Amino acid sequence: MYISEQEVRQHLSYEALIPAIRQALVDYSSGVVDQPPRVILRAGNADGANNGWFAVMPAIAGDWMGVKTVTFYPGNAEFELPTHMAVIELLRRTTGEPVAVIDGRLITEMRTAAVSAVAFAAISPLHFAAAPKSLGILGSGVQAHAHIEALRHVWPLAEIRIWSRTAANAERLALETDAHAVAIEEAAAADVVLTVTSASQPVLQGRWLSPNALVLAVGATGSTLRELDDEVMQSSFVVAESRSCVERESGDVRLSGASVGVEIGEILAGAEAVGIPRDGRVVFKSVGMAIEDLTAARLVWESREEGRAD
């Protein structure tokens, strides 16, 4: 059975996805998820930044197994095609029976933003003495839009500042989301800074950040790619979606020499034991995990089956 993106949109909501992702991250850090490293192959379709990649991401958790195949082609934007495309196969753990093949583009979009929403909700009260008021976003694409929507489920956003390499794109997103298009320095000076760019070299400079900033670093997934400069990484307490995944796949961590302080699932499981600093900066780095895709795919399947039973 094939479940299209249109059906995914009907059956997947942030109201259900955010708490499910929260539990999935706890389960991952507790060691009850079987998730090997993703396998990534370069497509060799072009030189430089437009060289796409193909990845395979399997996971087993609870009663389900799943595998996502995903492609990332930065050059697709020139052809008005999604840069990320994916398919997820969902299987029963008890029998190995494939139950559905699900379009994974929207799932990837939403689960990525849901992870950041979970991380913000967990870290913010431990880090800020008073609730943060401003969000600065570097980037204006699909993930920028998705993160605004997801974060609004956990944070009553008062001020959103958006910067993009293409000013017209920042203006368009600002108009759509009741935000402001600003210079990069102004976006970076917000209480919380979200980086969702396709940069290969650092775009966020530490000298622009407030002394107590929380940075949600989502873009530049790859061991040689970076969004954040050395000052950002070396002046911050680093929280990882997964210690092993980030240390293997994040150029921001690998190339800066920064060390991971704690996984987000460890914070969620017992915040009192985690030393999130009140003074100083915090970086949350995510690279995306198969358990998140499996969690979202399961929600889609269960919602669809419930609808058929009514």
pLDDT of 49 over the 80 cut: no
Span 195-223, average pLDDT: 94
Number of CB atoms found within 10 A of residue 300's CB? 25
Kindly tell me if the per-residue pLDDT of 308 is higher than 80.
Answer: no
Indicate the SS3 state at residue 270. coil
Q: What is the mean pLDDT of residues 134-146?
A: 97
Q: What is the DSSP string of 146-187?
A: HHHHHHTTTS---EEEEE-SSHHHHHHHHHHHT-EE--HHHH
How far apart are alpha carbons 168 and 295 in whole angstroms?
35
Q: Residues 195-211: what's their mean pLDDT?
A: 95
CA angle 176, 287, 289 (to 5 degrees): 105
Q: What is the pLDDT of residue 75?
A: 83
Instruction: Convert the pLDDT of each residue in 221-254 to its tens digit.
Output: 888 889 999 999 999 999 999 999 999 999 999 9
- Looking at residue 117, what is its pLDDT? 98
As to burial, measured by CB atoms within 10 angstroms (0-12 exposed, 13-18 middle, 19+ buried), residue 36 is exposed
pLDDT tier, 74 (very low <50, low <70, confident <90, very high otherwise)? confident
pTM given for the model? 0.95
Tell me the pLDDT tens digit for each residue of 109-134: 999 999 999 999 999 999 999 999 99
Weakest mean pLDDT among 26-30, 75-79, 297-301 = 75-79
- Domains for the chain: give ranges and CATH numbers: 2-107+290-309 (3.30.1780.10), 114-285 (3.40.50.720)
Beta strands in the chain, from DSSP E residues, in sequence order:
2-3, 39-42, 53-61, 64-72, 84-92, 98-103, 134-138, 159-163, 180-181, 192-195, 214-217, 236-240, 260-263, 281-285
On whether the CB atoms of residues 157 and 101 are closer than 8 A, the answer is no
Question: Which SS3 state, helix, strand or coil, does residue 272 take?
Answer: helix
Whether the predicted pLDDT of 310 surpasses 90: no
Give the count of beta carbons closer than 10 Å to the beta carbon of residue 233: 26
pLDDT band at 273 (very low <50, low <70, confident <90, very high): low
* Average pLDDT over every residue of 273-281: 85
Q: How many helices (H) and strands (E) does the chain have?
A: 11, 14
Query: Predicted confidence band at 271 (pLDDT cuts at 50, 70, 90)?
Result: low
